[in-house]
Amino acid sequence: MDKGNQSNVSYFVLLGFSTSTKMQLVLFSIFFLAYSLTLMENVIIILVIRASHQLQKPMYFFLGNLSFLEIWYVTVIVPKMLIDFLTQDKHISFQGCMTQLYFFVTFVCTEYILLAVMAYDRYLAICNPLHYPAIMTNGYCAQLAAGCWLCGLVTSTIKLSFIAHLKYCSTNAINHYFCDISPLLNVSCTDSSLAELVDFLLALMVIMVPLCIVITSYICILTTVLRIPSSQGRQKAFSTCSSHLAVVVLFYSTTLFTYARPKLMYTYTSNKLVSVLYTVVVPLLNPLIYCLRNTEVKDALKKTLFSRRSTGELC
């Protein structure tokens, strides 16, 4: 980027959480623990999926992609936040801010679309089980996953091309703990209406289209499941998608609460607390939801741990 053509500031100041030094250390400990657990949980899920033959299914292929995504999703935000808790210097360079924003938007957009693809997978498995193996081949699954990442990258590139070319002049204090779109638009000293319009239209496509797919898929799933005569069959069908539905509700509810509000709402401190939910809490809970609510993942995890323990004892 040619910084001189885009901004009169060379850095931004992330105001973060305005608390005492003692409270900053407490917050550092909490978020460091949450970050470490999130990384550990997602790495375990990826390793278990790769090691278990019973999890070599499209559903768990996409779950592995989700875990891989969330490792980077939290890494682009939390380490910088942890550093800021321990120092008074909360500066982030202009290029660093744009880079953080680029990857954050990429991962958020990719997750929206990936969750929709996972809902589509559950729809095919439950509503069209006879044709499911022929449709969800390894090649098709790889294409769907690649499409999710490509859409995220393209959306982020378009958004950033407008935001990075705004002028920020002498106002460089961002009332947030990371570089997000609306806080940056708030501190711009030039007309940002075009950037806001592009952001709104792309957000509408990336959020609402996948959400419609998710809702339609689960309406069809619910209709099909209710037609199953046995209660055991209905329970088994519901159990295959309950964990995914819980993750969808968590992710969409927290992000929609933030991104569906007017730009001026981003000036309030309460927004930072809501942002913590989808940048820290939800990625921490997602692996737990899949492990606790999914029998196959729990069984595969137990078998993997038991086999390794037995191997260790024999050695």
The one-letter amino acid code at 161 reads S
The tokens for 2 are: 């040619």
Domain presence at residue 2:
no
| Alpha helices (H) in 128-180, listed in sequence order | 132-135, 138-163
The pTM (predicted TM-score) of the whole model is 0.88
| Backbone φ and ψ of 93, nearest 5° | -65, 160
CATH of residue 165: 1.20.1070.10
Domain presence at residue 1:
no
Q: Are 13 and 90 in contact (CB under 8 A)?
A: yes
Distance CA 42, CA 54 (A): 18
Domain presence at residue 305:
yes
The tokens for 160 are: 């950033």
Residue 125, domain extent: 7-314
Domain presence at residue 150:
yes
How much of the chain is in helix, strand and coil states, percent to nearest 5?
A: 80, 5, 20
Nearest one of 306, 285, 292 to 74, comparing CA atoms:
285
Per-residue pLDDT of the chain (315 residues; tens, 9 = 90+): 444 444 567 889 898 887 788 899 999 999 999 999 999 999 999 998 888 888 889 999 999 999 999 999 999 999 999 999 998 888 999 999 999 999 999 999 999 999 999 999 999 999 998 999 999 999 999 999 999 999 999 999 999 999 988 888 766 888 889 998 888 888 888 888 888 889 889 988 999 999 999 999 999 998 988 887 777 777 777 777 888 888 898 898 888 766 655 454 455 566 788 889 889 999 999 888 887 667 777 777 777 766 655 555 544
If phi > 0 it is left, if psi is from -120 to 50 it is alpha, else beta; for residue 103 that is alpha
Split into its structural domains, the chain has a count of: 1
